[in-house]
Amino acid sequence: MEPLTWTGSLAVLNPVFLILCAVFAVSVVAQIVTSFFAVDAAVNSGALSVSPGPADYAGQAVKWSFAALIVLILIYLVGGIVLPGEPAKGIIGTLSSRFLPVWIALITTFAVSITFKRKLGLYGKLFDSVIGMIGFAIVMFWVFTGIFGAMDMIVTHDPLSQISGMKNKVPGTPVSSDDAYAYYLLGGDNLARDVFSRMVKGAWEVIKIAPFATLFAFMVGITLGLPAAYYGGKLDTLLTFLANLILAFPVILLFYLLVTPEIVETGIPKYMAAVLFIFPIIFTVILVNSRFFIQPSKNYTYLAITLVIGLWLYLGIAWNADPFGIIDFPPNLLVVFVSVVFVNSPTVFRIVRGLALDIKTRDYVAAGQTRGEGAWYIMLWEILPNARGPLIVDFCLRIGYTTILLGTLGFFGLGLSPESPDWGSTINDGRKLLAIYAHPALAPALALMSLVLGLNLLADGLREESLRD
């Protein structure tokens, strides 16, 4: 079989694509240059010009050339799904076909969300922001990729399998084995493994660690930050000192110390997990009890459900001792999880404490105290909801930071197992021959970059809408 080209039968559009790229680049440069002259002219004249100038025309050129590029990219993607056979689809079209479950899930999510956006609170308002929608689309693309990739609906090969003769092969190379998918769509790495399948599986490694580790860190930070700000005094001084003590260590050095084999063998990460992972249970129990304290029947029922589920998860995650055998938390994954929670918790604590110090002076907090509400009710149901905007934005940004940290750990060969397809490990494997074969490191690097970019854009969109709220 012949190797796949990038665009297959749609190669006739390639000159148009290159021309549009050139026009877009020139327009961006022209807009930047002409904007300086426009400002100088306005300052010298003492008034803003009403008639459009060169900067305005350059801005229009940027807008329309970018829109044309998006349309052309959509033609490549849709054409890849419609055209029959991999040679006609090309590499881009075949990749688009492999991601078909992701496209369907994205379209469904956006259609339902936009239809009912006025009933979905802050999440629904996100769809009034173009930046927020773009960020949300990028993030959900990788979320769905991780989920469907874990179900083997996207990958073409086992990410750990090696096929003879496929070492460092370029994208689109036909596979010599007859019992496997016909092509390595994004080429092979230095161990003859499929780069595309490892990239997709790597998305699941990120999705199953970064959001949940960040959520645990937020529960620790909120549980400690609210009483520190509300009560103040010696409690605030002690907790702030401990948080500053942890933050005094460089993040990478702290990660390195926590995940080194010598430290792991001492059992310190497991004991840290036993302490840190009890905070989500404490947080949830206090949240339920403070809300339903005056309704004993509901309170006891919800507390019982919370404790049963919470202790089951606690045993499975912290001690790998799930009595039902459902939760399997490998030791190396636990070490990475604990490291992320431990490093992020002090920063979350300081953010929550700062917000709570301001909000506790508001009139509605004083009104709650006058009504005789309990301290935890005021903290969790009066102060915390009014701090949700900045916290939601920081949560999205912190997932991005965590993703970068996971990639850094994998790049240094720490934490997850060496054969793990996580993006950091894959980049590290590919960098060894980067000057000769760039594709093994380029695919996971672009995936990591796009996910972090999506999280930042999503945070910007949420910040815009939370300020309007």
Given a cut of 90, whether residue 147 has pLDDT beyond it is yes
- Cα 240 from Cα 228, distance rounded (Å): 8
Given a cut of 90, whether residue 148 has pLDDT beyond it is yes
User: CA angle 89-91-93, nearest 5°?
Assistant: 40
Given a cut of 80, whether residue 179 has pLDDT beyond it is no
The mean pLDDT of 38-58, rounded to a whole number, is 61
Q: Where are the domains of the chain?
A: 1-43+53-98, 210-420
Here the tokens at position 201 are 């599986």
- Cα–Cα nearest to 224, from 241, 236, 207: 236
The mean pLDDT of 205-215, rounded to a whole number, is 89
The mean pLDDT of 75-104, rounded to a whole number, is 92
The mean pLDDT of 179-206, rounded to a whole number, is 90
**β-bridge mates for residue 188, sequence order:** 194
- Cα 462 from Cα 469, distance rounded (Å): 10
Given a cut of 60, whether residue 220 has pLDDT beyond it is yes
The mean pLDDT of 426-452, rounded to a whole number, is 88
| pLDDT tens per residue, range 233-245 | 999 999 999 999 9
Decide: helix, strand or coil at residue 171: coil
User: CA angle 425-433-421, nearest 5°?
Assistant: 20
**411: pLDDT confidence band, cut at 50, 70 and 90?**
confident
Sequential DSSP letters for 233-246: HHHHHHHHHHHHHH
- Cα 145 from Cα 81, distance rounded (Å): 17
Q: How far apart are the first and last CA of the chain?
A: 58
Q: Which of 30-44, 159-173, 207-221, 373-387 has the lowest mean pLDDT?
A: 30-44
Alpha helices in 118-267 (DSSP H): 121-125, 130-150, 195-207, 210-231, 233-247, 251-259, 261-265
Residue 469 has a pLDDT of: 60
Q: Which of 174-178, 348-352, 412-416, 463-467 has the lowest mean pLDDT?
A: 412-416
Given a cut of 90, whether residue 231 has pLDDT beyond it is yes
Using CB atoms within 10 A of its CB, is residue 179 exposed (0-12), middle (13-18) or buried (19+)? Answer: exposed
Here the tokens at position 286 are 């206090």
Name 429's Cβ contacts closer than 8 Å, sequence gap at least 6.
Answer: 189, 190, 191, 440, 441
Give the largest Cα separation in the chain, rounded. Answer: 79
Residue 140 has a pLDDT of: 95
| pLDDT tens per residue, range 354-392 | 999 999 999 989 998 898 888 999 999 999 998 888 898
- Cα–Cα nearest to 380, from 197, 208, 272, 225: 225
**Percentage of the chain with pLDDT > 90?**
50
Q: Phi then psi for 19, rounded to 5 degrees?
A: -65, -45
